Amino acid sequence: MATSPREPLVRAAELRNLLNKASHAYYVLDKPFLEDAVYDRLYRELIDLEAEDPFLSTPDSPTQRLGGPPAEAFIKISHRLPLLSLDNAFNFEELSSWFLRVEKAITKGKSPSSDNPILKMVGELKIDGNSLALSYANGLLVRAATRGDGTQGEEITSNVRTIDSIPLRLHLKNPPAWLEVRGEAFIPETIFSKINNERAKYGKELFANPRNACAGTLRQLDPQIVASRQLDFFAYTVHLPKEWIASKSDPKKPTEQWQALEWLKIAGFKVNPTSKLLKDLTAVQAFFNYWEVERKNLQYATDGIVIKINDFTLQDKAGVTNKAPRWAIALKYPAEEAPSKLIRLTYQVGRTGVVTPVAEFEPVLLAGTKISRATLHNANRLRELNLHSEDTIVVRKAGEIIPEVIRVLKELRPQTAKLLELPQQCPECQSALIREINAAATLCINQSCPAIIRGALRHWVSKGAMNIDGMGSKLIEQLVSRGLVKSIANLYELDEALLSSIDRMGSKSAKKLLLALNQSKSKPWQNQLYGLGINHIGEANAKALANSFPTASKLSCIACQSPELLTSIFGIGKEIANSLEQWFSNPKNQELLVRLRSVGLSLEEKNADLSLESKDKQNSALPFQGKTFVLTGTMTSLSRHQAKNLIEEAGGKVSSSISINTTYLVKGEKPGSKLKKAKALDTTILEEEDFKNLLSLMKQS
């Protein structure tokens, strides 16, 4: 992230203040307010500033210590061996640089040989939990502590004893006099969902994420509460006395990290089964890429991988800094949240007249793609954010796809910043904007507004509606700006001479477009209905309405005179019914329907004589009637569009998001976050083959 144009001294002070507050909130108050990915980016920015100018580094800088102080409610104890943190790499270039540094330190610049071995590594998932230090004396667990500041932690032995995956006695015949085991405590996703659901029932504040829940649990003064939350633990490091020699029945003292993981398993610890021995950086990259996708199917959170030099002797040669081992590094997955600097606030006017504020910011890399803008929805959201000019904002990808601004880091706001609000006039036509009482949206109600006309045209010609090939956004822009098209009906009044006068539109292109326009007149009534752009009417709802009301006249009559009857249709609620009533009650929209008929649009189904009663009877017999499906991942034998059609033909509804009303989740390859939510809600999950079998059974019945 680019540094602020303000003086580095000021920016460094602001970052120190914010990061120290974040550390205190996380380690002491158990109330984190800064996500790990955001903290990492801001921490990296501070490191870079201090690297450029060492005088910016102060004793209170978070770069000068490993973590926060222990909570006052627990006894402070010193670790036998320091709990060092890990340096981070955010891409393979940084990982390669780390590897070259380690190789140089170990080999003293010489090429690999029998005396100078190739550096094998161990790859482990970076579990998003809480580090623990376990101390054993003669095979018995005698003490457990949190990381704390790396040298001192919080003594939480009674709580850790409740974790079933931590052995109270080592599975060794001749255990050493002392033993230190390091690992990560965590809460599985399913348990986390149950905890939050339970807290919601009693009106308690929800945990922000599993790591937050785990930290809060480990600091409970009542071990029974800890036991009820079913924490889990993965061990990943063991420290043994130099003089200890294993008996014949015990595993030999490990000399490598890979051996250490096996040793821990034999000694009774739970070790993450995903760990892998890696021979080179190519293998590391493959390991990283594999788990970047597959981690979504795990029952615990992970935000990267940890790479360690395998050989302990080589680890000793590489050494450590005062904060981290040189022989290990964490390679983070692309951040799903990141800080950025606001550049400006712009405004978009949609086809329904809704004015949406859009934040434009310095580009950031999120989930593998670079983004630089995000919508802020409405005036309410803008007010909630309290957005000012030059603010530092936190951005994430909602649902792993849509960029959104989740909050502002007010601590980094310049004193000269100005509050940003929606304008009073439409940014397109300068008409006065309105906002109805209790409504979130701010509207331009000028139906001649160029932005509204452009939006209506783009929607009408889109693939899900009339699918008019050749009518792109640039052509629509020219037609509207020149006043040649003022409604969707005008499209069908264009001629070859007029179209040929448009920039980059020759006679051949004009003829092709006119043919596409003429062919679109025969599109089914459901496509025409969807293309009208009525608020809340998507493709699925348009299809359901067209099945029940085979002509625009019948739908208009019911919507205006008996809108309550609309809600009897599966998927049509009160909000949609109200939207239909408002649209068909508008005289200008009725005029549009008349004009569309005059240019050749039917606005009805071909078999329009089928009565509503017979349609309802037919629909009620469909096997998936009343069932809601959600699709995730890629299917091998069906496209998503084909699967959707099959479901709708059987009377079902396809939704884009998981909820308590979802009947089935159909899972393909590489599923997204919907799978995790479906598991949390106990939604029935169908593999592709299960889905096809269900279709066959339903058809047979």
- The vertex-286 CA angle with 283 and 291, nearest 5°, equals 130
Task: For residues 126 and 275, give the distance between their C-alpha atoms in angstroms, rounded to a whole number.
Answer: 10
Task: For residues 5 and 10, give the distance between their C-alpha atoms in angstroms, rounded to a whole number.
Answer: 10
Neighbours of 651 (CB within 10 A): 20
Task: For residues 495 and 484, give the distance between their C-alpha atoms in angstroms, rounded to a whole number.
Answer: 11
Measured torsion, CA atoms of residues 359, 361, 367, 368, in degrees rounded to the nearest 10:
130
List the catalytic residue out of 31, 120, 126, 194: 126
Of 366, 324, 278, 291, residue with least CA distance to 88: 324
Task: For residues 640 and 659, give the distance between their C-alpha atoms in angstroms, rounded to a whole number.
Answer: 20
Task: For residues 287 and 276, give the distance between their C-alpha atoms in angstroms, rounded to a whole number.
Answer: 8
Domain architecture of the chain: domains with CATH: 8-64 (1.10.287.610), 88-332 (3.30.470.30), 338-444 (2.40.50.140), 450-520 (1.10.150.20), 525-619 (1.10.150.20), 622-700 (3.40.50.10190)
Measured torsion, CA atoms of residues 73, 77, 82, 84, in degrees rounded to the nearest 10:
0
Of 257, 441, 479, residue with least CA distance to 357: 441
Residue 567 per-residue DSSP state: G
Task: For residues 460 and 533, give the distance between their C-alpha atoms in angstroms, rounded to a whole number.
Answer: 7
C-alpha dihedral sign at 159, 164, 165, 168: positive
- To the nearest 10 degrees (0 to 180), the angle between helices 574-585 and 587-598 is 70
Report the run of H or E that residue 374 belongs to, with start and end. strand 369-375
Locate 20 and state its tokens: 């120290």
Of 62, 40, 55, residue with least CA distance to 9: 55
Task: For residues 253 and 263, give the distance between their C-alpha atoms in angstroms, rounded to a whole number.
Answer: 8
Residue 676 known to be catalytic: no
Q: What is the three-state SS of 320-373?
A: ECCCCECCEEEEECCCCEEEEEEEEEEEEECCCCEEEEEEEEEEEEECCEEEEE
Neighbours of 333 (CB within 10 A): 18
Measured torsion, CA atoms of residues 569, 575, 578, 584, in degrees rounded to the nearest 10:
-70
Of 25, 65, 219, 62, residue with least CA distance to 150: 65
pLDDT computed for residue 380 by the predictor? 87
Contact 101, 328 (CB under 8 A): no
pLDDT in tens, 138-176: 999 999 999 988 889 999 998 999 998 999 989 998 999
What separation, in Å, do the N-terminal and C-terminal C-alpha atoms of the chain show? 59
Q: Specify whether the backbone of 37 is left (phi greater than 0), alpha (psi in -120 to 50) or beta.
A: alpha
Contact 163, 233 (CB under 8 A): yes
Amino acid making up residue 478: Q
How many Cα neighbours within 13 Å face the side chain of 30?
16
Contact 244, 177 (CB under 8 A): yes
pLDDT computed for residue 67 by the predictor? 52
pTM: 0.59
DSSP 3-state assignment of 15?
helix
Place of tokens 């340096």: 87
Query: 366: which strand partners?
Result: 369
Query: 237: which strand partners?
Result: 182
Q: What Rg value do the Cα atoms of the chain yield, rounded?
A: 31
Task: For residues 18 and 113, give the distance between their C-alpha atoms in angstroms, rounded to a whole number.
Answer: 49
Burial class (CB in 10 A: 0-12, 13-18, 19+), 490: middle
CA distances from 584 to 193, 446, 563 (A): 44, 18, 11
Locate 120 and state its tokens: 């094998």
Strands 328-332 and 88-89: parallel
How many Cα neighbours within 13 Å face the side chain of 204?
11
Contact 357, 310 (CB under 8 A): no
Locate 235 and state its tokens: 């061990």
Place of tokens 């760990």: 275
Which segments of the chain have a pLDDT < 50?
Answer: 1-5, 113-114, 609-620
Locate 683 and state its tokens: 């939604």
Amino acid making up residue 156: I
Amino acid making up residue 619: N
DSSP 646-693: HHHHTT-EEESS--TT--EEEE-BS--THHHHHHHTT-EEEEHHHHHH
